[in-house]
Structure 1
């Protein structure tokens, strides 16, 4: 089984889920190029290159056999696109609050503006990381020195200070022993550059993955946050239409990073998908 992280996240984002699945399946999580401990990209990212990386990980993890794939947010987009190109390598899908393909493939002017603001803040974050300001602010925030850290962030980063505070909020949901690791990731400028590049290309990525047609027999589980919009939920139910083995759970009182908030429920969805994929395999074998 392979875990795929969200847009600007690393393998560490699965730290609360991955240990829960070890009793029934072997699993792999990794850092996409430019994120986490991976090396910086030498060229702007492309969907084709990302899918090639996914293919390498899946082929290694499964030894040529199909595997269950678990993706959060933008990671779910990648896995949907990968399934479209390589259905023979996918035994099942677990999509954790997946990004909306329809919304981002046909961006409104307001969404385009949101993306551009995100790109600008990410590039400013890279500049701040170059000068050690991100490292200092995150260290203070994670140690509990909230007012002083916010003062540093706002003086140095302006609007980007809210990005630092949001990062810290998500880091705080991870096991405490991982806080220094995540802070170290975001103290490296190339993580911010990778986030900026991906945000900038998100509409093109979503357009490439849109209009998906999943194999009828493929087990697919979707977990949605209670903060998901009606349009997002409608789109997700549409993906499941016509499939024979599906599960869609809306977890109450959860936000977008629900795998950090409700890891047990995410692990349960993984177990269901693994069991369904094994039943399918047994059925094919008996035929």
Structure 2
């Protein structure tokens, strides 16, 4: 466990294992320890890098609002800070799928593989008006909620509930002390509010990047989509639509993109099916 300073912000980073580099980036409001079930499957074969984005996990608060290019460059800067300058397989879960894809497009020479784990998908995103005002409102809301003790009272409980609802079975395996340490703070609340506020702007920026920066030729890409397999295997209308959107994303990323519906799995695939995530990385 260590901290790497990027843009003046200390980033919490954990590096384990040996071999080719693999970077794991979790979704909005998630932490480095949410990859715990996947890591032991990878470390015999890969150098695994996990990090917390600003305002997440144990990292310091964000100095600037998130952007697709900014998050891509953040990954590159973290690897530089760790002395890992060779190509890496980048794994992005949920909103971090935007960041991982942006990294592959903006740093093609440093990308050896791209794995999107139930990634966010926005086909027609547009940048909302008044981003500076939105940033100010998000920060003000976070400050107000922290002042009345909301993170300490509700943060860990909210984290537990969200994880439970995002899995096919089981609760939150994260240690209670770690959950309290991270989610009982206004820092993590602020980080989640800031990323959520700029979600559509980041999505719109990625759509623009796709028109200017192709994915690196010959680099393997995998799109994994969660499917919980409830009701005797009959998909709900939402599930069917979600799987088709992910399938369309795979087609957009290239004819050779591997597409897999992982069953059974909820949105937190790394907890429900760590084997599927690890297999996608190791078969690149």
TM-score range, shorter chain: 0.7 to 0.9
Q: Which runs of 5+ in 2 are unaligned?
A: 1-21, 129-133, 228-238
Higher relative contact order (CA 8 A, sep 6+): 1
Please list the CA deviations of residues 187-236 of structure 1 after superposition, one character each: whole Å capped at 9, or x if unmatched. Answer: 11121222122122111211111263322301112211114614422322
Please give the root-mean-square deviation of Cα atoms over the aligned residues, in Å: 3.1
Task: Return the match for 2:282 from 252, 265, 271.
Answer: 271
**TM-score (ref. length: structure 2):** 0.72
Shift of 1:17: 0.8
Alignment of 1:1-287 (within 5 A): 1-60=22-81, 63-103=84-124, 105-106=125-126, 127-137=144-154, 141=157, 165-166=161-162, 173-176=171-174, 178-210=175-207, 212=210, 213-226=214-227, 227=239, 229-243=242-256, 246-273=257-284
Do the aligned partners of residues 138 and 53 (structure 1) sit closer, same or farther apart at CA in structure 2, a change above 3 Å counting?
closer
- The question of whether the paired residues in 1 share the 8 Å contact of 2:164 and 2:172 is answered with no
* DSSP 3-state at the match of 2:91: strand
Larger Rg: 1
Q: Which runs of 5+ in 1 are unaligned?
A: 109-115, 142-161, 274-287
Which segment is superposed worse, 209-218 or 120-129? Answer: 120-129
**TM-score (ref. length: structure 1):** 0.72
- The question of whether the paired residues in 2 share the 8 Å contact of 1:135 and 1:184 is answered with no
Shift of 1:169: 5.0
Do the aligned partners of residues 235 and 60 (structure 1) sit closer, same or farther apart at CA in structure 2, a change above 3 Å counting?
farther
* DSSP 3-state at the match of 2:198: helix
Do the aligned partners of residues 257 and 52 (structure 1) sit closer, same or farther apart at CA in structure 2, a change above 3 Å counting?
same
- The question of whether the paired residues in 1 share the 8 Å contact of 2:154 and 2:184 is answered with no
Other-structure match for 1:150:
none
The count of aligned residue pairs is 239
Do the aligned partners of residues 270 and 233 (structure 1) sit closer, same or farther apart at CA in structure 2, a change above 3 Å counting?
same
- The question of whether the paired residues in 1 share the 8 Å contact of 2:66 and 2:202 is answered with no
